[in-house]
Structure 1
């Protein structure tokens, strides 16, 4: 039986993880729960699963990881504040089921240098798909990674047509039910840009061998192309419980967590190239990823400020990526990466983004 700590237990990832565990009590034991601010829901979860150790906030998460014995830490926190718990889980020798992509992207080599081989198990559906497909060949046989993107609510639209997008329109994702930040990032393709950086850091594949294909049906979650021309794709209906279950018990599969595809009915899957002119966030992410150091942290922090400004009515939709690009171009990274330099770079990025938005 695997003992599990869930960070972000009241959010989308956390509640779906508890769905998996609820149906597999003989396989998993929840030993710790951390929420952001929702103490009422947290207490209800603790009562249902018999959890003694609970807490609110990042500081409580790091303390729990240090003091409570666990096999797996599921980091479902949103945003770069998840970096501290990610580092704490790695230092404690726990398997890290990572749904908090920002902590890997922002932490970069700080995270990878701490992680033992196989210690980080990706929970993002795209990276879980790649991890599954990579089991079909050796590392030296991989030619290319292909991350799929639904295209969001604005697939097929030109850059010019996006000028008047409203916050409500940006939140109308056709496939996934996510929070304000992640849903908006999916509409701008910033989320896919972050996933490209995450794929590079997780799997060690160079940026020029990581592509994005638009796949509106969201059935093929990502693909691995091998040197012999073969491509392995992981396909399943869009349901995060499947990659979450793999994160909790990698590399073992948990029966019944998701419904399989129905091969008795006609289906059509389509794939389209990404329009980088309308959605430049992915190419910008590759640029900051190659630059490394604190540039990915600046990209992420500037974007978070711009998204919040957009939803507050202080910035138009196209201004989100324009602001991120302007902040990245102004940034001068220190030569070495430390927690202190990352924190300072994020503070600078947020302040600079705010100043640009204020005009």
Structure 2
């Protein structure tokens, strides 16, 4: 184990691109989403620690983006949708005083990538989906500390990210990986026996595969403990999200897949655990709230006081743990298989899933059809070339094929159901 490659995320190593006094300059990608809005709340409560210099968003919530830019007094606002620029400029003008300069506006599909490489200390990548890969690579290449909430960019481009990242340059922001990150600080890599990733079980915990056949979009969006965007929430319902997190844990910490375990913990108080070779297990626990992991991502190696809620230990509570039902939720084992294949297989898995989730949201695919279709696309893709030779064009080509094939299979499913 001591001869394994250095992990991407190591709590013992601190990468500080612009050491100095004063607040850290931060760029927030995906500022109008769940991670972005909570990060901004944290920044506004800690102006002595953080200063946001640029924001990026897709463009679906222009008024909120303009409000964020004004409150934070950012230099640059980036938006993926070129068509909303006039609306954004008008919204900014309405908030800034007469004669007060407006922030620079960048627009287009590469806007987030451009601000990810801009002058700052830390880039928080809170974009959802594999479109976060290019900004992740840009931030690393520019030498920024990367607070990574966009797990997909690591999963689809693992070798590319690992080739660019310097020791300590990536700080994970997912609650599970931030928990592992903190627990790993208690020992050396040679001390680690197992990583234990917890899962809430989503809204369908305890249901059999047969009982999942008729669930609706509304059912899948009713997560019992976390408030997240629709894609991540549905991924949590299928447990695809947990499968992605297993791949992410493997890539971040260089722990073999057979030593990464998933357990169901409905309360979502324990975010993950590390089992050490001496029999000790360290668990990181807080009430469900993403501001804690975000604070770790932005502030490490320092902790941000009162970043998130704490437990009231004077009140009785019950914490439960259950084994994962792999028959009802086969996505985690499929993700392990994909992770071991490496190469472009994770990109195929992720892209096919994104297409199937969208098809489910629009009523074109039943709930069980999500993972069944993803499985078939992965099987048809076969064994990819070695991951060490992976390139960005390889990833894009694999994603394009997987999306097209998932749409074809989804259309067949819809047609067959219509005839039934």
Q: 1:177 aligns with which of 224, 227, 246?
A: 227
**2:263/2:324 contact within 8 Å kept:** yes
Show structure 2 runs of 5+ residues with no match. Answer: 1-22, 81-108, 413-420
Q: What is the SS of the residue equivalent to 2:302?
A: coil
**1:164 maps to what in 2?**
214
For normalisation by structure 2, the TM-score amounts to: 0.84
1:82 aligns with 2:132: yes
1:350 aligns with 2:400: no
Coordinate RMSD, CA, aligned: 0.8
Cα deviation for residue 251 of structure 1 reads 1.8
Q: Which moved more, 1:311-320 or 1:131-140?
A: 311-320
Q: Which moved more, 1:334-343 or 1:71-80?
A: 334-343
**1:219 maps to what in 2?**
269
Q: Which moved more, 1:46-55 or 1:71-80?
A: 46-55
1:248 aligns with 2:327: no
Q: Which moved more, 1:270-279 or 1:56-65?
A: 56-65
**2:175/2:271 contact within 8 Å kept:** yes
Q: What is the SS of the residue equivalent to 2:293?
A: helix
Q: In the aligned structure 1, how far is the partner of 2:223 from the partner of 2:162?
A: 32
Greater Rg, structure 1 or structure 2?
A: 2
**1:334/1:341 contact within 8 Å kept:** no
Runs of 4+ in 1 over 3 A off after TM superposition: none
Show structure 1 runs of 5+ residues with no match. Answer: none
Q: What is the SS of the residue equivalent to 2:147?
A: strand
Cα deviation for residue 334 of structure 1 reads 3.8
Q: What is the SS of the residue equivalent to 1:26?
A: coil
1:139 aligns with 2:189: yes
Q: 2:203 aligns with which of 146, 153, 157?
A: 153
Q: In the aligned structure 2, how far is the partner of 1:65 from the partner of 1:246?
A: 19
1:323 aligns with 2:373: yes
**1:8/1:75 contact within 8 Å kept:** yes
Question: Deviations along 1:40-59, whole A, 9 cap, x unmatched?
Answer: 22111111111121110241
Q: What is the SS of the residue equivalent to 1:55?
A: strand
**2:112 maps to what in 1?**
61
Q: What is the SS of the residue equivalent to 2:363?
A: coil
- Map residues 330-349 of structure 1 onto 2, 5 A cutoff: 330-332=380-382, 333-335=384-386, 336-349=389-402
Cα deviation for residue 353 of structure 1 reads 0.7
Q: In the aligned structure 1, how far is the partner of 2:208 from the partner of 2:313?
A: 35
Q: In the aligned structure 2, how far is the partner of 1:162 from the partner of 1:15?
A: 33
Cα deviation for residue 31 of structure 1 reads 0.6
- Map residues 39-54 of structure 1 onto 2, 5 A cutoff: 39-54=62-77
**1:99 maps to what in 2?**
149
